[in-house]
Amino acid sequence: MTTATPTASPDAPPSTCDLLIVGAGPAGLAAALAAAPSGARIVLLDDNPAPGGQIWRDGPGVTLPPAARQQRKALERHAHVQLRCGTRVVGLAEQTARSAGLHALWLEDAQGGWVQHARQIILCTGARELLLPFPGWTLPGVTGAGGLQALIKGGLPVAGQRIVVAGSGPLLLAAARTARQAGAQVVAVAEQAPWTALARFGASLVRWPGKAVQAAALLPAVYRADSHVVRAHGAHNLHSAVQSVTLRQGGQERQVACDRLACGFGLVPNTELGQMLGGRVSERQGLAVDADQRLLRGGAAHGPGEPHPVDAVPGLLAAGECTGFGGSERSRAEGAIAGHIAVGDIAAARALHAERARWHAFADALHRHFALQPALRRLAEPDTLVCRCEDVRYADLAQRTGWIDAKLHTRCGMGACQGRICGAATHHLLGWTPAPPRHLLAPVRIGTLAATGIRADEAPRHTG
């Protein structure tokens, strides 16, 4: 059978590069800048319109922090580093590239799709919000905490609106600040962690004084600990949205009138691409890496900081929130180490180990003190939707034995998000571990598949 000639995007990068960096957030930018002096041909891609990731997300009226502006300018000075924004990885390409010592990924942008070959890949795929189902969480006006930030940075008008922020972790404070700066009235910030845990976390910040100052500046008067969302109230139609939210603090409940509810219970590392490429997930649910940020194969875990090159997947590294969340400083340290390792500058990479260890300790403190309380597993009621794409209720899932059983009987995880939201939710609620996708990461245009020249009977199925 004659195959079609691949049609790449008009401005697509060279079909082969020395280093492909997936994700242009703090980790990806740091990796590119660390590797750039070597002269290697580098392609840095991100699915957002501009580099910076979620934490340095650009948009109308956004003032980027100095570190973000500095890294952007530094990147512009390296002509051999090609930045591809608005570009995403949609899956794995032909396996024949491996015999030539290359990795091959399908990329897609607004113009078309193409296959990108790379001698090495650094995964800086970041993390997404953990959203836990509760009655009313699908009402218009209910978003993630980071989702609200992204909407506001993208130009959503919220001036004068009453906003409740609920969930867990420092992201709540950042979301509340973004809303206030946009003219909204933040009427409540509900942190599920108890005051005792927050006090211990505050005391530990003596090791990171900059974080202590930052937290003090962000802390609003309406901040309450040991408080979590119970239910959102409103109407599901074109003219109504969330109108109020019930919060439980200690043993007491109160109803707060609001126009928007932003709810986030932490972050979930984006590990799917790393798993598809042969990597494993650590106990922290992020991609497992060795001391040089090399992606580790499936198998027994090793002690922290111990290099095990035999267990590493050849040519693959990972850095940033996809290895476990812990802030932009940790991401930048890991990204720089990965960039140096990718181009063989071992000494420069090892010189950053102490900086990385410092921010790993901060990440450990976050995990310890903001651990989710057992009460959050009981928020969903029988009629609460867990899979929003396929309208699957909690009652439909409670009688299933696991993720595959649920997919077969309810279509849970088979919608547009391919289980990214409900998969993390069922892991927390029911202890299920969704299987990683086998070939495709996301729904892809037929034109992108056609451009690869694959016959219909050879096309990989997206299993989620």
Mark whether 164 and 246 lie in a shared domain. yes
Residue predicted with more confidence, 3 or 268 = 268
pLDDT in tens, 198-210: 999 999 998 998 8
Asked if the model's pLDDT at residue 329 lies above 80, the reply is yes
Helix ranges (DSSP H) in 133-170? 145-153
Within a domain: 448? no
* CATH code of the domain covering residue 298: 3.50.50.60
Q: What is the pLDDT of residue 26?
A: 94
Sequence-separated (6 or more) residues with CB below 8 Å from residue 71: 26, 29, 30, 33, 51
Mark whether 274 and 322 lie in a shared domain. yes
Least confident segment among 150-164, 248-262, 265-279, 289-303: 289-303
Mark whether 63 and 102 lie in a shared domain. yes
Mark whether 165 and 221 lie in a shared domain. yes
**Contact present, 286 and 322 (Cβ < 8 Å):** yes
Q: Please, which pLDDT band fits residue 97 given cuts at 50, 70 and 90?
A: low
Least confident segment among 9-13, 254-258, 339-343: 9-13
Q: Please, which pLDDT band fits residue 344 given cuts at 50, 70 and 90?
A: very high
Q: What is the pLDDT of residue 69?
A: 86
Q: What is the pLDDT of residue 95?
A: 58
Q: What is the pLDDT of residue 456?
A: 38
Q: Which class for 339: exposed (0-12), middle (13-18), buried (19 or more C-beta within 10 A)?
A: buried
Q: For the chain, give the percent of residues with pLDDT over 90.
A: 67
Q: How far is CA 303 from CA 306, 310, 373, in A?
A: 6, 15, 28
Within a domain: 447? no
Mark whether 154 and 104 lie in a shared domain. no
Q: What is the pLDDT of residue 303?
A: 40
Least confident segment among 63-72, 301-310, 311-320, 377-386: 301-310
Mark whether 73 and 169 lie in a shared domain. no
Mark whether 259 and 272 lie in a shared domain. no
Within a domain: 50? yes
Asked if the model's pLDDT at residue 308 lies above 70, the reply is no
Mark whether 255 and 277 lie in a shared domain. no
Q: Which class for 353: exposed (0-12), middle (13-18), buried (19 or more C-beta within 10 A)?
A: middle
User: What pTM was estimated for this model as a whole?
Assistant: 0.89
Q: What is the pLDDT of residue 94?
A: 67
Mark whether 290 and 338 lie in a shared domain. yes
Within a domain: 436? no
Structure tokens at 450: 């056609």
Mark whether 159 and 179 lie in a shared domain. yes
Asked if the model's pLDDT at residue 460 lies above 60, the reply is no
Mark whether 359 and 387 lie in a shared domain. no
Q: What is the pLDDT of residue 4?
A: 34
Q: What is the arithmetic mean of pLDDT over 219-242?
A: 88
Q: Please, which pLDDT band fits residue 147 given cuts at 50, 70 and 90?
A: very high
Please state the φ and ψ torsions of residue 385, each to the nearest 5 degrees. -70, 130
Q: What is the pLDDT of residue 39?
A: 94
Within a domain: 329? yes
Q: What is the arithmetic mean of pLDDT over 141-147?
A: 95
| Closest by Cα among 24, 123, 25, 33 to 75 | 33
pLDDT in tens, 34-64: 999 999 999 999 999 888 888 888 877 678 8
Under DSSP, is residue 187 helix (H, G, I), strand (E, B) or coil? Answer: strand
Within a domain: 51? yes
Amino acid found at 163: I
Structure tokens at 319: 């850095």
DSSP state of 406: H
Q: What is the pLDDT of residue 6?
A: 36
Q: How many domains does the chain have?
A: 3
Mark which of 367, 387, 421 sits at the end of a domain: 367
Q: How far is CA 321 from CA 271, 289, 295, 325, 377, in A?
A: 10, 12, 14, 4, 24
- Report the alpha-carbon distance of residue 282 to residue 280 in Å, rounded: 7
Within a domain: 451? no
Asked if the model's pLDDT at residue 346 lies above 70, the reply is yes
Which residues, listed in sequence order, are joined to residue 129 by a DSSP beta bridge?
A: 267
Q: What is the arithmetic mean of pLDDT over 155-177?
A: 95
223-224 sheet: strands from edge to edge: 142-143, 260-264, 162-167, 185-191, 223-224
Within a domain: 52? yes
Mark which of 215, 233, 264 sits at the end of a domain: 264
Please state the φ and ψ torsions of residue 38, each to the nearest 5 degrees. -75, -20
Mark which of 348, 367, 386 sits at the end of a domain: 367
Q: Are strands 88-92 and 267-269 parallel, antiparallel or unpaired?
A: unpaired
Residue predicted with more confidence, 299 or 333 = 333
Mark whether 138 and 74 lie in a shared domain. no
Parent domain of 384: 375-430
Q: For the chain, give the percent of residues with pLDDT over 70.
A: 89
Q: What is the arithmetic mean of pLDDT over 103-119?
A: 91
- Report the alpha-carbon distance of residue 35 to residue 289 in Å, rounded: 19
